[in-house]
Amino acid sequence: MRLGAWLCMVWALWPLASSARAPKPNVGLRRTVSYAELRRGFSQPSLIYAPYAFWFWDAPPDPKRAADVAAEMCRQGFMPGYAHPRSGMPRNQWLTTEWFDAVDAALRAVERAGGFMGYTDEYDWPSGQAAGRVLAQRPELRAQSLNWQTFDAADGGAVSVPACLFATAAALDPSGLIRSSTLRVIGGGQAFSWTAPPGPWRVFAFSTYHHPGLDGSPVNYLDPRVTETFIRIAHEPYARRFGDRLGKAMSGVFIDNEGDYGWKLAWSDHLDRTYRATRGRDIRLWMPLLVARDVEGVYARARWECLDTVSDIYSREFFGRINRWCADLGMSCTMHVWEESLQLQAEAVGDYFKVMRAMSMPGTDSLIRKPLECWEFKETQSVSEFEGRRFCSEVLGVVGWDMPPALLKQTTNAVTAWGVSHVMPHGVYMRPDLNTIPYPPDFFRVNPYWPYLQQWTDFTRRASYVTSHGHTVPDVLLLNPMDSLWATVGEWLFAPTAEEAARIAHINDTYMGAIRTLTEARIEFLIADRFYVRKMTLGRDGRLTVGPFSFRAVVVPPVSVLPLDVMRKLVAFARAGGRIYVLGTLPDGSTDRGMGDPEMARLVGELRSQGTLVDCRAGLSSELARPGTALVSRIRFESGAFPMLQSHRRIDGRDFFWLANQSDTERECVLLIRGARGAASIWDCETGSIRPVASADTPGGVRVRLRFRPLEAFFLTLDPKSPAQTAHVRPVERWSTIPVRGPWRIGIDPARQPSVATDVRPLFMVPKRARALEASGGGRYVHDFTLTSKPRAAAVWVTADPGFRLYVNGKTVARRAADDVWRQARRIDLAPLLRGGANRIAASVPTTNAGWFLLQGEVQCADGKTVRLDTGDGWGRSTPESGELEPVGSWIWSAATRPNQTVWARRAFDLPTDAAIRTAVASLSADNRFTLWINGKRIGSHEPWMELASFDIRGALRPGHNTAAVEASNDDGLAGLAAGIHIGFENGRTARILSDTSWRVTDQPEPAWMEPAFDDRHWHPATRVAAYGAGPWGRFETATGIAPEWTWTAVSGPAWTRATAVDRLPDDVPSAMLRAQVRSLDGWLRWGLDRFTGYVDYRTTFHAPSRGRAILDLGSVKYTAEVFVNGKRVGARLWGPFEFDVSPYVRPGRNELRVRVGNLAVNVMAQFADRGILGTWGWGPPPARESYDAGLFGPVAIKVSSGAQGQAAVSRGRRARYASGIRVSAREAGERPARGEMIE
């Protein structure tokens, strides 16, 4: 071997040798624990097992805010990591003194709380570019890919090869495929001419070009210098600043790199050198086989070897190096890459399993509601189990502002079943302006459930604590089919055909379907790639074993190639009696030799001859019901079957079964746990309690009866070192139910609301000093008043049935649509629009059969005087027809109408030269869209036609001659343009220009047609299509910004009358809004709370008999409930059942009950949506209306014990039998359990 090649090999393999050294302990590695130690720590595990928030630093670094947010998260048991610098924080402040001062302040707050945090190593994502600083320092490290050109040469002909990195030639077979045995590198560099040997030949000329990877990173991850530079820039400053605090309170690092090894044919010189060193071949020789097939079938091997080498470099040189840097400091390192499909993995990740193995804590990214499904988790879980590491998962990203707290519970229930032991909720934001958040929700204080979140974080912490120890107990192995994707990735990735795309999709869909089927059948399984299969041995019992894992069956998805040694192991397993379930084609090629490998054909034939091979091309579902199948769950329902989530761990010889009810229905069942024995107990992660459960050892396993409350999940633990426990008779209680029917007093405490700015409150919270104005048939209202000086503060509460539009001094202030918003009042700041002297408030209420308008507030003047602004006396009113001129004129168009038509319209008008313009608004609509110009200046566009759009055009107008020009387009059907320009002058005069036949139109565009100097005399007069309000368009609610002239001009004459004040609102307004008292419980939408986020207090009294156990059952609640009895706090719950043990707080006779109910952030976020300033609802559609509803729905009851009747106890017995083991359950004895108590 030449010295250069030997050095290349040493350099390439050195990281593998260095990684073999024992790392320092970090929180990503599982540790061995005794059962006794695990039991002692269960009630209050270390906070290292608590959820770690994905903490988005999207605002300038602020040490005080960072410390406050970190401390508040710690108070809720929510660890404030991983701090992630994101858009919103200036890029140049990352890694500065200001950045580290803020991180240090957060870290000190965490240390004081005894908690932990971590950091994310990139600004935004993907990791590795250091916010552009890597390429700023090393521009030669830009990502490179290869493109190629092909040139065919005739018999002995010459080919002109352009300048390229290298060129490779191959002879062509008569079929048109290349012959790999003839491949040769023919040159590179400058353009050259090459003469082909006899016969047809094809030349492949490869050149480099820059292209970011799939996730957008511009750096070359196949060059180790990228990681070296990145660590120096993005990681080493943390070590210099925090020293030995790393690996302690600063426990770990998160790498946000979704998968970006390069674009398509990714390239680097290091790839070339590593390939030569590990494969003993020039990579250039086989490069054509990545983009074309050969007649010998070597292409499969060539593609596999290339992508295997790419994966080695990406996983080892990028992820592995960062992980080793963290491990040397005692920190964990976690990340996630594309796990969504095999196609994405092949295109951007390479070998998913290799990347996961490079991390001390493998991770996955599960956004929206995907945590409730299993298939994105099983590959990562498998690596975590095989490697003895914890498993991180980002969850609930972009699920939306309507995320209910019950979804938090369901998520932990599910991801614990999938093996996750480090939960990373997405997320908490630093930026206070929540309407700009790009990936909602924000878990923080805006959510009414935030003060109670510790119920969820404690539950998750205990579940993660147990799941972080021991190992799963799988029976089935699912083979990962990535080798087959690599063999066909050339066509799929570079020159896809429908046939190859369908084959790839079939492999992916069958593989994912097997994951789902096995999970839904509650069959314990892991997934293995070739690395783990190679480590397995065949045990004496015929099982495949590796470490503590033993498999009695293997499921093989459709595959086209496999490594020969993997296939030999499968054949040996089948020969020993192991079941192999085949879901599709078996391989006809190997990664060792390519397609058409005769040795693989021989092995496949031998495998088929074994009686243990089961053909499941129709899917696994039918096989699950077949007698004698090896695909059997460890747990069998003997009664009460339901879709239970299940996973099985073994810790220090004890069996831990995670069992979860994901429904809102109570379940009771009898389970037989096959092959298990010993005492059963419930490890309740909600309460931290451990309690015995009646069970019985039988020849088939342990039999146990369980009751699951809605959304309940727990560990059922079986200890074979202790005998089964049987149920005998013990004292039980009989219960009587006392309905709590009210009446309920409803109230909202302004001092006890989420910390989010809100300008909407329920109508019944508005002081009752103002009277409403009657608005039957709709109305226009004005109120003129005088201020003695400039206002210092001015605010009013406004609402109307069915909606309103408010104006101040001729300017639009607010608009509320005609829906249920009249049930709540909106606070409006008037100070910026008021002035010393004369002022006017004007309002319009849409036409309706019955309605009203209410405004209440005050102005505080600079001179200390206060002016009340209340509806009542002193307001003028007119009807819509007489009080307000139409906002637009007639609907006009050209004489002929046709589909997909555009017309151009103009109207010239003159304005006085002796009057200053006070207000000028243009309002238009066009079916289907329009663009407006004033005096050649483009003002704006609008679509659709269903509402009028308004524009402030004061800056575009001038004294004298003016021109309005409109380009309007129609898709099909009837077409029309309606326009109105409303101008008010300081001297009180007005001008109106409406659409009519005086406008000039054409359907032929001309240059400068919108300019005032353009001569439109050859255009045609507009054709009147319909009057405003007629035709198919009807009348419009004018868009925000329009200020009709009656809102600023004098109002007088018979059209205007004194408005009529009413002392009582119409009967259809719920009485709660006026008296804050209701007899029947109802949803908040009926009380005008659809834009209110916060808490509503329900107060009532109930009478209790003598002292004794008392359980308060609130029935149905949306979404959170906090209970107080006789002024003392009892507790709070985020999900059902909403039951509370109130025994210590209840006294004989009269008792006071207060229930504080909280809703979701979606309501307050809808306020931003109303005003058009909400950044996003998330990745889905706007929330359904039912998401806005909340409340205490009941029925509410107090369940009081009436003394002991008989007895039932749990005793230990070595000779327990099934009959006595579950004959008497607590439920059958009539006992009603307290919250959290399990009925066996």
Same domain flag for 485 and 614: yes
- State how far Cα 1001 lies from the chain centre: 50
Q: How confident is the model at residue 1147 (pLDDT cuts 50, 70, 90)?
A: very high
Confirm whether 599 is domain-assigned.
Answer: yes
Instruction: Determine the pLDDT at residue 928.
Output: 85
Three-state SS at 915: coil
Confirm whether 412 is domain-assigned.
Answer: no
CATH of the domain at 715: 2.60.40.1180
Confirm whether 1015 is domain-assigned.
Answer: yes
Spatial separation of the C-alpha atoms in residues 345 and 245, rounded to whole Å = 36
CATH of the domain at 1166: 2.60.120.260
Same domain flag for 663 and 720: yes
Q: Are strands 471-472 and 613-615 parallel, antiparallel or unpaired?
A: unpaired
Instruction: Determine the pLDDT at residue 258.
Output: 87
Confirm whether 907 is domain-assigned.
Answer: yes
- State how far Cα 688 lies from the chain centre: 29
Give 425's strand partners: 395
Same domain flag for 775 and 697: no
Same domain flag for 1193 and 1213: no
Instruction: Determine the pLDDT at residue 943.
Output: 82
Instruction: Determine the pLDDT at residue 1218.
Output: 27
Instruction: Determine the pLDDT at residue 513.
Output: 96
Q: How confident is the model at residue 732 (pLDDT cuts 50, 70, 90)?
A: low
Q: How confident is the model at residue 768 (pLDDT cuts 50, 70, 90)?
A: low
Q: How confident is the model at residue 1071 (pLDDT cuts 50, 70, 90)?
A: very low
Picking from 673, 765, 689, 269, the residue whose alpha carbon sits closest to that of residue 459 is: 689
pLDDT digits (tens, 9 = 90+) for 792-823: 999 898 888 777 888 888 777 876 654 445 66
pLDDT at 404 over 80: yes
Spatial separation of the C-alpha atoms in residues 925 and 937, rounded to whole Å = 19
When pLDDT is averaged across residues 763-780 and rounded to a whole number, the result is 69
Same domain flag for 937 and 1013: yes
* Domain total in the chain: 5
Spatial separation of the C-alpha atoms in residues 87 and 79, rounded to whole Å = 22
Confirm whether 932 is domain-assigned.
Answer: yes
Asked if residue 119 has a cis previous peptide bond (ω within 30° of 0), the answer is no
Confirm whether 1088 is domain-assigned.
Answer: no
Task: Assess contact for 740 and 1155: CB atoms under 8 A.
Answer: no
Q: How confident is the model at residue 1059 (pLDDT cuts 50, 70, 90)?
A: confident
Q: How confident is the model at residue 29 (pLDDT cuts 50, 70, 90)?
A: very high
Same domain flag for 1211 and 1197: no
Spatial separation of the C-alpha atoms in residues 117 and 254, rounded to whole Å = 11
Same domain flag for 529 and 599: yes
pLDDT at 1229 over 70: no
Spatial separation of the C-alpha atoms in residues 732 and 720, rounded to whole Å = 30
pLDDT at 870 over 50: yes
Last residue of a domain, one of 624, 654, 686: 624
SS3 annotation, 848-900: CCCCEEEEEEEEEECCCCEEECCCCCCCEEECHHHHCCCCCCCEEECCCCCCC
pLDDT digits (tens, 9 = 90+) for 337-370: 988 899 999 999 999 999 999 999 999 999 999 9
Q: What is the DSSP string of 787-854?
A: ESS-EEEEEEEEEEES-EEEEETTEEEEEE-SSGGGGEEEEEE-GGG--SEEEEEEEEE---SS-EEE
Q: Which helix (H) or strand (E) holds 551?
A: strand 549-551
Spatial separation of the C-alpha atoms in residues 1012 and 937, rounded to whole Å = 10
Same domain flag for 1034 and 1170: no
Q: What is the separation, in whole angstroms, between the first and last Cα of the chain?
A: 72
pLDDT at 1029 over 80: no
pLDDT at 777 over 80: no
Last residue of a domain, one of 601, 624, 647: 624
When pLDDT is averaged across residues 1017-1027 and rounded to a whole number, the result is 93
Mean pLDDT of the chain: 88
SS3 annotation, 1012-1076: CCCCCCCCEECEEEECCCCCCCCCCCECCCCCCHHHCCCCCCCCCEECCEECCCCCCCCCHHHHC
Spatial separation of the C-alpha atoms in residues 665 and 657, rounded to whole Å = 21
Strands (E), 1166-1235: 1191-1194, 1197-1204, 1209-1212
Lowest mean pLDDT among 271-285, 810-824, 852-866, 1189-1203: 810-824
Q: Which domain holds residue 777?
A: 759-883+1055-1062
Same domain flag for 811 and 690: no
Spatial separation of the C-alpha atoms in residues 1180 and 500, rounded to whole Å = 32
Q: How confident is the model at residue 584 (pLDDT cuts 50, 70, 90)?
A: very high
Highest mean pLDDT among 433-447, 517-531, 748-762, 884-898: 517-531
pLDDT digits (tens, 9 = 90+) for 636-647: 999 999 999 999
Q: How confident is the model at residue 372 (pLDDT cuts 50, 70, 90)?
A: very high
When pLDDT is averaged across residues 112-129 and rounded to a whole number, the result is 97
Instruction: Determine the pLDDT at residue 335.
Output: 93
Q: Residue 1136 is encoded by which pair of tokens?
A: 């059902």
Lowest mean pLDDT among 489-498, 964-973, 1158-1167: 489-498
Please name the residue that has the structure tokens 């102005």: 859
pLDDT at 1163 over 80: yes
Three-state SS at 67: helix
CA distances from 326 to 25, 441, 544 (A): 11, 30, 34
Confirm whether 160 is domain-assigned.
Answer: no
Same domain flag for 712 and 784: no
Confirm whether 59 is domain-assigned.
Answer: no
When pLDDT is averaged across residues 829-840 and rounded to a whole number, the result is 90
More confident residue, 1229 or 735: 735
pLDDT at 10 over 70: no
Spatial separation of the C-alpha atoms in residues 1103 and 786, rounded to whole Å = 56
Three-state SS at 996: coil
Same domain flag for 1025 and 937: yes
Same domain flag for 964 and 1016: yes
Instruction: Determine the pLDDT at residue 727.
Output: 61
Phi, psi for residue 519 in degrees, rounded to 5 = -70, -45
Spatial separation of the C-alpha atoms in residues 552 and 629, rounded to whole Å = 11
CATH of the domain at 522: 3.40.50
pTM of the predicted structure, to 2 decimals? 0.81
Task: Assess contact for 218 and 129: CB atoms under 8 A.
Answer: yes
pLDDT digits (tens, 9 = 90+) for 168-194: 999 999 999 999 999 999 999 999 999
Last residue of a domain, one of 597, 624, 651: 624
When pLDDT is averaged across residues 1064-1077 and rounded to a whole number, the result is 45
